Structures are given as structure tokens and as C-alpha cells.
A and B are shown apart, each in its own frame.
Chain A
Amino acid sequence: AQSVAQPEDQVNVAEGNPLTVKCTYSVSGNPYLFWYVQYPNRGLQFLLKYITGDNLVKGSYGFEAEFNKSQTSFHLKKPSALVSDSALYFCAVRDRMDSSYKLIFGSGTRLLVRP
């Protein structure tokens, strides 16, 4: 079965500094990987996805993620963090389910950006 792991429960960065939220995956075959963000009392919002092509994927709000096959990683990055980026971030992988697909989510990483 496919899975993703987010090794950090929380990441703290100062505003203006670069940020990285880590995700590693375990899949058979080619992975379809996603990042979602959850703001307080809201549902998850799509940030970006990797299916094929360039290893560097650009998404919403200035975020990007780098797919690294040799390290089985899909880390989320942003060059300059904003206080408003503080939220809960989930990595996900698409898994086969009967005749369709489902998303398997990591446990989430809370990002705190301090002013």
C-alpha cells in the first residue's frame, strides 16, 4: 500500500526566512503526490501536485515542492515565509482503490511563522 510520512509535527521559522516542510513517500510504481494546507476551522485546500515531468513543482501562494526519486521525498518549500503561511500542512499520495483512487494523507505538520 502507498503511504506518506511527515516526520515533523511542527516547524518554526521567522518571517522572511525560507521554509521547508518534509514529506517522504513509499509507493509501488510512479507516485502521484499532493500538498494541501488547512487553516483554522477550515477544510483542506489544494496547494500543488506532482504527477510527472519537472521535479520542481510550483503551486499556490508561492509554494513549491521538489520531487526526489532517489530519496523518495516530496518536500514543500517557500523562499520567504509569511506570518499568514502559519497553518497545518498535509502531504498526500494517490492510491488505487477498487476501480478508482483515494488519497492517503500524512499526519500533518504545523507551520508557525513568527513575525
Chain B
Amino acid sequence: IAGITQAPTSQILAAGRRMTLRCTQDMRHNAMYWYRQDLGLGLRLIHYSNTAGTTGKGEVPDGYSVSRANTDDFPLTLASAVPSQTSVYFCASSDSSGQGDPYGYTFGSGTRLTVV
């Protein structure tokens, strides 16, 4: 089934530890995104990538980094986790950088991260 796979589904992480959230898509979408979802704040964009080899900062990029070595994978790394990074993280993708995609974005099922 075409779509986005995120891993892990959930994780409890000690503060100060490094963590990489994985995201893989099989739709050959050129654009990919990472959002975090927090109660009362909706979804906020962390980082994005318009195409393989390029990345950009979203609304809340501090403490996070991304890479886009190929079309399918877009991992999100927390270099040194802090409790404020406790959240649900969603990876998404779109075709033609969101211009022509009739469905807007396709989302993964999310990673629930708790930093203690």
C-alpha cells in the first residue's frame, strides 16, 4: 500500500540523548515535511525538503535537523533531546511541492515521543 512509514511508533527518551525519527515514502513525492503536534497548537512545521538534496527550516526548527539524501527518506534528528520536545511528530509528503497535488499532503501515522 502506497504511503508514508514512520518509525518508531512511540519512544521514551532520556533528556540529553540523541534520537532519529525515520520517515520513508513510496509515492515518489518530491516534497517532504516534518510537523509536531501539540495540544491546542495544532501542527507546526519543523523542517521541510522540496526535493532530494535540499532542506529548509520551518516555524520551529531549533533543536532539530534533517537530511534528504534521496527521494524516499527524510529522517528527523534530535541532537540532544529536551522535555519540551515531547510531542507527536508527523512526517508528510506532497507532489510538485504542493502545487498540483489534489490531496494536499499525505501523512504518516506519527511518532509519539516522550522526553524525560
Partner of A94, one of B90, B98, B106: B98
- Asked if B50 and A98 make an inter-chain contact with CB atoms under 8 angstroms apart, the answer reads yes
- Asked if A108 and B104 make an inter-chain contact with CB atoms under 8 angstroms apart, the answer reads no
The range of chain B's interface size is 20 to 34
- Asked if A107 and B42 make an inter-chain contact with CB atoms under 8 angstroms apart, the answer reads yes
Contact with B along A79-94 (1 / 0, CB 8 A): 0000000000010101
CA distance A100 to B50 in the complex (A): 7
CA distance A102 to B4 in the complex (A): 18
- Asked if B107 and A45 make an inter-chain contact with CB atoms under 8 angstroms apart, the answer reads yes
- Asked if B108 and A102 make an inter-chain contact with CB atoms under 8 angstroms apart, the answer reads no
At the interface, yes or no: A56 with Cβ under 8 Å from chain B? Answer: no
CA distance A23 to B92 in the complex (A): 22
Binding site for A on B (CB under 8 A): 4, 31, 33, 35, 40-45, 48, 50, 56, 58, 90, 92, 97-99, 102-110
Task: For B9, give the chain A residue with the smallest CB separation.
Answer: A41
What DSSP secondary structure best describes chain A's contact surface? strand
Within 8 A of B (CB), among A94-115: 94, 97-108
- Asked if A100 and B99 make an inter-chain contact with CB atoms under 8 angstroms apart, the answer reads yes
Given A42-B109, A44-B105, verify A102-B43 contact (CB < 8 Å): no
Given A102-B58, A107-B40, verify A34-B104 contact (CB < 8 Å): yes
**Minimum distance in angstroms from A47 CB to a CB of chain B:** 10
Given A101-B98, A102-B48, verify A44-B107 contact (CB < 8 Å): yes
- Asked if B109 and A97 make an inter-chain contact with CB atoms under 8 angstroms apart, the answer reads no
B98 contacts which chain A residues (CB < 8 A)? 94, 100-103
CA distance A94 to B107 in the complex (A): 16
Partner of B56, one of A36, A90, A98, A105: A98
Given A42-B109, A45-B107, verify A106-B42 contact (CB < 8 Å): yes
Task: For B43, give the chain A residue with the smallest CB separation.
Answer: A105
Task: For B58, give the chain A residue with the smallest CB separation.
Answer: A102
Task: For A51, give the chain B residue with the smallest CB separation.
Answer: B102
**Minimum distance in angstroms from A91 CB to a CB of chain B:** 9
